[in-house]
Structure 1
Amino acid sequence: MSPEDYNYITKFLLETTGLSLGENKEYLLEARLIPLAQTHGMNGIQDLVLSLKSKKDPSLEKEIMEAMTTNESSFFRDRRPFDELKANILPELIAERKMTRKLRIWCSACSHGQEPYSIMMLLRENYPELNDWNIQIISTDLCKKALERAHEGVYSQFEVQRGLPVQLLMKYFDQCEQGWKIKPELGAGIQWKHLNLLEDFRHLGIFDIVFCRNVLIYFKPELKKNILNRVSSQLNSSGTLLLGAAETVLGISDKYTKQTGCQSAIYKLAGNSLANPIAR
């Protein structure tokens, strides 16, 4: 791969997805894009770049974006945030929403769906009083293929063994030829939507909880700030933001403060009485 082709693709990815590859990631581009080029009858990266420059095939742009998206997830990933959701966040929200009996949760970058399904199982197992509430989980991702798989809800034996307790597997899944399939009733409250975080997402509405985990680590600081600030406008005044274990708002956005009593990357909106100012 020539330096010119590498620079062209990395610039394209930065502008369209926010993905910042930096230098010396030729191996990653080749591993993911050469197979894509071959499916289009091309010889390699050079032909792919020429086609991309010609702008004759808009679908190719989307295929490249999706090929470079990291769709890594597991059930109850990094278990502690789910424990803190159960122990600290949900009890407060349920008490506040007991009159409206409605909760809205956004899972951004939901990948193959393990995160929203994990949230739904947590609600079913620990809060039976919510069974007659209006619970909406909006799950979005840049990759349409990942969303299709998430909506289908079929997982291999390896995937269900990553973080999913066996009692939940037996209760909420049915065995199928490919492995295990989510029971329809568990997915009934989940909506799957294609979304690029670089684009306007105000149409999604206001949320009580936003999961934006393990996606911002791929973005440059100025883009992280932009997304975090826009997410803050989608949160209820007492809403909660959950980031990945390696992510923080510190030094990036002043819209948030750390959630009291939580050790994970969990934040409230700045000025909320349930939060503690972030040490600077």
Structure 2
Amino acid sequence: MTLATTNFDWVRQLVHRESAIVLQPGKEYLVEARLLPIARSMGLADVGKLVDAVRSRPDPDSTRRIVEALTTNETSWFRDGDPFTALTSTVLPSLVAARGPNEPLKIWSAACSSGQEPYTIAMLLEDALPSAATRVAITATDLSREMVERTRAGRFTQLEVNRGLPAPMLVRHFTRAGNEWEVAPALKRMVTASECNLAAPALPPMGPFDVVYLRNVLIYFDLSTKQAILRRVRAVMRPDGWLFLGAAETTLGVDDSWERVVIGRSSAYRPLKGA
């Protein structure tokens, strides 16, 4: 069944109001696919019936489920590779040299999805920094409550660990938990997960961060929202901090208060002094 234009427009407006994510015309198929499981769980025949029900009797839980279903949770271990190589080859040595030997290192994995990104960072730092267990604090946030809960649990299916996790790291940092794999307790202690809407008027109190991974997020927002998010991110970073964006994202032409730094085949961004 094709979603009626009025219902699709209502979903678009709801998602934009709650998350600032822009659903372009032509994404009806995505809305159908993502919302059909919710409709069926509520005993409704199709997505049109779901939208009609929520429009006539709105409640916070139903609207939250719709918005969360339409946020993209695509992720994998070491996604795109280069930003993580840059962390250990360049960023970490720079931070260790600039900080005192016991000064905490704070990293933010924004839009962490089900946890692969923050735990990738945790594994790399555990292997590269002898004091990582006591020195590194990784804040993992996501709009989706379900994704935050999954990150806290730190449990992954065999299919999920097969997506980019090297076998030696699986053996070193995970244990079997029934049919799943569970992150080692030392890594879990490094990661704190919580809900965060990046497009909200203000971020929750956190930071200041030495490194921020804000990858494959800005592409879903309009220009003014991208600018606002980058301003808020800069406000919770250390003056000499490092920002990693997705391969298709840049601050150039969006916010000129960042300096682009090429690291091997990757790029990072640093706050411009005095900006």
Query: 1:180: which partner in 2?
Result: 181
Q: Distance between the aligned counterparts of 1:22 and 1:265, measured in 2?
A: 29
- CA shift digits 1:90-146 (9 cap, x unpaired): 111111112552111111100010111111111111121x24643210100011111
Asked if 1:26 is matched to 2:54, the reply is no
Select 2:6's aligned residue among 1, 4, 7. 4
Deviation at 1:2, TM superposition (A): 1.2
Gaps of 5+ in 1: 273-280
Pick aligned residue for 1:108 from 107, 110, 113: 110
Whole-angstrom CA distance in 2 between matches of 1:56 and 1:248: 38
How far apart are the structure 1 equivalents of 2:56 and 2:241?
45
Greater than 6 Å deviation, 4+ residue runs: none
C-alpha distance in 1 between matches for 2:263 and 2:121: 20
In the alignment, what sits opposite 1:69? 71
Letter in structure 1 aligned against 2:260: K
Please name the residue that 1:168 is paired with: 169
Once the two structures are superposed, residues 186-207 of structure 1 have per-residue CA deviations (whole angstroms, 9 ceiling, x without a partner) of 1111101011111221412311
Partner of 1:277: none
Whether contact under 8 Å (1:51, 1:57) holds in the other structure is: no
Residue by residue over 1:47-92, the C-alpha shift from the partner in whole angstroms, topping out at 9 and shown as x without a partner, is: 3223333354211010001111211111111111111111111111
> How far apart are the structure 2 equivalents of 1:161 and 1:116?
17
Equivalences for residues 54-65 of structure 1 within 5 A: 54-65=56-67
**Which residue of 1 is the match for residue 138 of structure 2?**
137
2:98 counterpart residue number: 96
- Of 259, 265, 268, which residue of structure 1 is paired with 2:267? 265
Corresponding residue of 1:80: 82
Change (3 A) 1:222 1:154: same
Identity of aligned residues (%): 38
- Structure 2, unmatched stretches of 5+, are none
Aligned 8 A contact 2:76 2:160 in 1: yes
Q: C-alpha root-mean-square deviation of aligned residues, in Å?
A: 1.7
Cα separation, 1, equivalents of 2:133 and 2:72: 36
TM-score (norm 2): 0.93
SS at match of 2:140: strand
Answer yes or no: is 1:14 the counterpart of 2:53: no
Opposite residue 194 of structure 1, the aligned amino acid is: E
Give how far 1:260 is off: 4.8
1:39: Cα distance to partner? 1.3
Output the CA distance in 1 between the equivalents of 2:79 and 2:209.
21
Paired residues in the alignment total 271
